[in-house]
Structure 1
Amino acid sequence: MNESSTVTRRPKIALTGATGYIGHNLLEKLTDHADMIALSRNGSKHESTNDVEWRSCDFFSLEDAVQGLKDADYAIYLIHSMLPSAKLTQGTFEDMDVILAEHFARAAYQNGVKQIIYLSGIIPPHTTKDELSRHLRSRLEVEETLASFGVPVTTIRAGLIVGPEGSSFPILAKLVRRLPLMILPTWTRTKTHPIALSDVLEALTKCIGNERVFSQSVDVGGPDVMSYKEMMQRTADIMHKKRRFINVPFLTIKLSRLWVTLITGTPKEMAYPLIESLAHPMVAQNRHLVEGISEGEMTYEEAARTALEEEQRKIEAQKSRKQEKGYLPHPLKAMKRAMKADVRSVQRIHLPEGKDAQWAAGYYFNWLPSFAKPLIRTETQTNGVTRVYLLFSRRPLLELTYSRATSRPAHAIYRITGGSFAKAKEAHRGRLEFMQIPGTRECVVAIHEYMPSLPWFLYKYTQAKVHLWVMYAFHRHLLRLIRNNTVKYAKPVDQGPGIRKS
């Protein structure tokens, strides 16, 4: 780390994903050089030390994000949302990721963070954003969002990271271990630039406080450039397994997603986006190389052998724990079981020119009763409370209270404070948010930590489906307004005498 000599105290670094694959290894490495703020959704379960302060933080909440980054000099962003974050998650990982990035960037700005360090993937040259896979397109959007509030961002872009955990290398190792014969489509001949986990950690460490790489994207890679087929062959040699590979002259990404998921047991939410990205060459580019940071030292064989040995030690340790404590569930299954019965639903809409999230929220509550007429009516009071009613019912289905203290033109937040459809007392953090993606005319509409009152099975196949249908209809409606240039104006939520009914 390059810390100015005028600073006498150790720098304080906020690390997201501190319990994850990259995060827990980086935490161990950085505690020798800095005071750490270790951020995790379950940070309160960990005991703080002199060097590490654990904080519970859910970056889907802007308030949590601001508190989580409090007092940090630098912040490391290792968040990804491929796996579910609620008992029911509706929406794409791309939309989830942009919310997390916006909250993180805004919180970093409000706390005076000097630099954000972000671990991303190598972006192939001469490829437009529309041509990128969903995963790489999302990584690039996150990078742009993190930089949107003016805090310098240093992005470390890596190809396949070779380590005992994570995603890509364990998937490749499982394929080699389980399949004596592999039919290889054309994407397996795509070139990539593998890099050892230790070299990635070193690159991240060297960027912290290094003004030479402020507001830069830095490609990193090991000494070997090879195809995925070559990696499979070398991995088989390391495992001392004889494997036969048969090339086929066509690209079968969709079919590959399916068989990789079936063979390796990797959740499709993670496997599908990763496999789609393999069609792109991911080799470090000269224009993004930084001397002393970009060059990984460990060869693929050394990194793979180290990762496989570490994996074997963990398997043996897990077997020992099972013998001592009995059955231990799969980590993903255990995570799902521990989740409360909450809902996260995120959809993306387009805004008319000159409009913001505040406008979209007001317009939505005016549009909803006209769309669902005569079944639905709404009332908005001057105190910012909006109630949604069913037909002639006197009790609202939902009551939402506008949060003036935390909202702004680009981010409108409504607390779910009542209604027959919500367990408001159990879900005091339940909320509906309209968030404009910085620098764009796109807006994400998100329900967070909503606790439905309906029985779970009934809710999942009725109310949850209706919500998706309504949001799709609202999105289509806004597109028609944009196309026809017939935008109507909604009254601001905190204006107008008495009660406004729709």
Structure 2
Amino acid sequence: MSYKPTSVINHSATHSGRRVLVTGATGYVGGRLVPELLAAGFTVRATSRSKDSLARFDWYDSVEAAEVDLQDEDSVRAACEDVDVLFYLVHSMGGDDQDFEEVEKTVATAVANAASDAGVSQIVYLSGLHPHDVPMEELSKHMRSRERVAQILLDSPTPAIVYRAATLIGSGSASFEIIRHLVERLPVMIAPAWITNKIEPISIRDTLYYLVRAADLDEPANRGYDIGCGKTYEFADLLRRYAAVRGLKRWITGVPLPLPMDKLSGMWIGLVTPVPTGLAIPLAQSMQEDAVTAEHDIADIIPDPKAGLSDYDTAVRRAIEKDTDGGVETSWDSSWELSSVPAASEEGDPAASRPNDPEWAGSDVYRDVRVRRTPVDIEHVWPVLEGIGGSTGWYSAPILWQIRGLMDKLVGGPGLGGRRDPRHLKLNDRVDWWRVEEIDRPHRLVLRAEMKISGKAWLVLELDDVTDEEGNRTEYTQTALYQPKGLLGRAYWWAVYPFHFFIFPLMTRNILKEAQALSER
């Protein structure tokens, strides 16, 4: 199936024949920018050190893929040939074991020189937002390096637009994932005084809007612009408002501590959340400074989005829920959901998670996976799966299922409510406390839980044709997925885990045993 770029962002223009170069195309912003540029009609050349890292994106066949070493001017110069606009989306988060500031300076200089030699008309760089009245030497190492890169590009012969933005709100953004995981995991947070610092976030959707429009200016521009959502918060407010959107109760306060809290905070974030410590430390360092726009001059050359800039709560909802503008719910398991619903890139909502986001992006998901092979053909195994639940039961410890159903009933859930047809299912059918979310005969059945729990759960039953030396013909995969909500949701998973350890293997074995009996009748 060919890739058809679509978007929910109103770019209000088409640009057939105009070529743009995206460096950092495999990163968080770059990977979302490419489909937006394609949807707007640009010819896109995407770069990476290896084409293999580009090939994993669904837009790969729609772009000009180029292997580029950004520290090599000749390599960059070749990539800049016939390019109108260059998007510079590369930066290192840095670490104590390398002089990343010098590396970033070298790369920025190589890109600026190559763009000038190739006749590029516009460079667009996404930098960080920081107080304008703070001398560069007093900024955090991470922010100081970004600002020096900005100055190199602004001083180059090629006009450069430098966007200065604070926290990007969207699934997969490192800063947003820190917010997500801190709130989801900790009901009480006592943080350093920087938690009261001022910050003006911006949604990934609005960020991409500004980036795409920068490639469509009547005349090139050469200056820096602050971009944000138009409303200032304390960092603690971002945590509290996320909790409110998720329906979680959280207690958050900041206290002054006479300690080097930038590194300690980063290490603590790395410990509490799945965000790598090497990424959390520089982000924590940048939190030591206010990040609020000092101007909105970008409106002089690019009007605000027609629907207005997204506020923080709206951006959070887009990142964690189904977007009413056409986005999709965050995918928790690529083994089935990516084939059952449109991928975020297909629907065009950049706030949703993508299969190429880091493993730590997105909400926590617990899994119980059981895989077993059988000599029975799929045609005899599938009827057992499609007939599961109701009067047939769940092929394991019926008394435990009945107790769990009664408990669910007592708290207002559906309990073991049976099913419409004992042998056949269709989409949206109820099966006890499950709902049929996907059915692909005879290979996949996806059930979504409607029981009263602190989170979301799915049961995924899959069949694949196999042939091995032992005479097996079918591989059965049984996956229980659980996305917890808050601390109570995590406690629930671990409370029932011992029962899962008993129930799910028994369920797998008995389903295949029933299929064997069916094949012999």
Give the letter aligned to residue 107 of structure 2.
L
Q: Give the direction of change, closer, same or farther, for the CA distance of 1:239–1:19 in structure 2 (3 Å limit).
A: same
Q: Give the direction of change, closer, same or farther, for the CA distance of 1:185–1:103 in structure 2 (3 Å limit).
A: same
CA contact (8 A) 1:39 1:57 kept: yes
Between the aligned partners of 2:115 and 2:46, the Cα distance in structure 1 is: 15
Give the letter aligned to residue 82 of structure 2.
D
Q: Per-residue displacement from partner, 1:75-129 (whole Å, max 9, x unpaired)?
A: 0000012379xxxx95232222112211111111111111100001113121101
Does residue 304 of structure 1 match 2:316? yes
Does residue 316 of structure 1 match 2:325? no
Which runs of 5 or more structure 2 residues have no equivalent in the other structure?
Answer: 1-8, 340-354, 361-521
Does residue 141 of structure 1 match 2:153? no
Between the aligned partners of 2:155 and 2:33, the Cα distance in structure 1 is: 26
| Matches for 1:52-131 after TM superposition, within 5 Å | 52-82=63-93, 91-131=98-138
CA-based RMSD = 3.4
Q: Per-residue displacement from partner, 1:236-293 (whole Å, max 9, x unpaired)?
A: 1111111111331346333212211111132222211111111111111127543464
Does residue 214 of structure 1 match 2:221? yes
Between the aligned partners of 1:191 and 1:17, the Cα distance in structure 2 is: 29
| Matches for 1:484-499 after TM superposition, within 5 Å | none
Between the aligned partners of 1:212 and 1:146, the Cα distance in structure 2 is: 17
CA contact (8 A) 1:218 1:294 kept: no
Q: Give the direction of change, closer, same or farther, for the CA distance of 1:11–1:61 in structure 2 (3 Å limit).
A: same
CA contact (8 A) 1:185 1:250 kept: yes
Q: Per-residue displacement from partner, 1:4-59 (whole Å, max 9, x unpaired)?
A: x9x99621100112222111211111113211111122225539878521112221
Does residue 189 of structure 1 match 2:200? no
Between the aligned partners of 1:188 and 1:294, the Cα distance in structure 2 is: 32
Between the aligned partners of 1:201 and 1:23, the Cα distance in structure 2 is: 9
Between the aligned partners of 1:37 and 1:284, the Cα distance in structure 2 is: 32
Give the letter aligned to residue 201 of structure 1.
L
Match of 2:490 in 1: none
Q: Give the direction of change, closer, same or farther, for the CA distance of 1:182–1:59 in structure 2 (3 Å limit).
A: same
More displaced stretch, 205-214 vs 15-24? 205-214
| Offset at residue 231 of structure 1 (A) | 0.7
Q: Per-residue displacement from partner, 1:129-160 (whole Å, max 9, x unpaired)?
A: 11111111111111112234311110111111
Between the aligned partners of 2:17 and 2:273, the Cα distance in structure 1 is: 43
Give the letter aligned to residue 138 of structure 2.
E
Between the aligned partners of 1:120 and 1:288, the Cα distance in structure 2 is: 16
Between the aligned partners of 2:93 and 2:271, the Cα distance in structure 1 is: 18
| Matches for 1:169-180 after TM superposition, within 5 Å | 169-180=176-187
Q: Per-residue displacement from partner, 1:313-343 (whole Å, max 9, x unpaired)?
A: 44423364899xxxx999579xxxxxxxxxx
Give the letter aligned to residue 70 of structure 2.
F
Match of 2:5 in 1: none
| Offset at residue 210 of structure 1 (A) | 2.1
Give the letter aligned to residue 282 of structure 2.
P
Q: Per-residue displacement from partner, 1:402-430 (whole Å, max 9, x unpaired)?
A: xxxxxxxxxxxxxxxxxxxxxxxxxxxxx
Q: Give the direction of change, closer, same or farther, for the CA distance of 1:245–1:297 in structure 2 (3 Å limit).
A: same
CA contact (8 A) 1:48 1:54 kept: no
Give the letter aligned to residue 62 of structure 1.
E
Does residue 253 of structure 1 match 2:258? no
Secondary structure of the equivalent of 2:149? Answer: helix
Between the aligned partners of 1:160 and 1:99, the Cα distance in structure 2 is: 26
Give the letter aligned to residue 319 of structure 2.
A
- Name the count of aligned residue pairs: 323
Q: Per-residue displacement from partner, 1:338-365 (whole Å, max 9, x unpaired)?
A: xxxxxxxxxxxxxxxxxxxxxxxxxxxx
CA contact (8 A) 1:184 1:246 kept: yes
Identity %: 30
Q: Per-residue displacement from partner, 1:164-196 (whole Å, max 9, x unpaired)?
A: 012111111111111111002211111111111
Q: TM-score, normalised by structure 2?
A: 0.56
CA contact (8 A) 2:28 2:357 kept: no
Q: TM-score, normalised by structure 1?
A: 0.58
Between the aligned partners of 1:179 and 1:287, the Cα distance in structure 2 is: 36
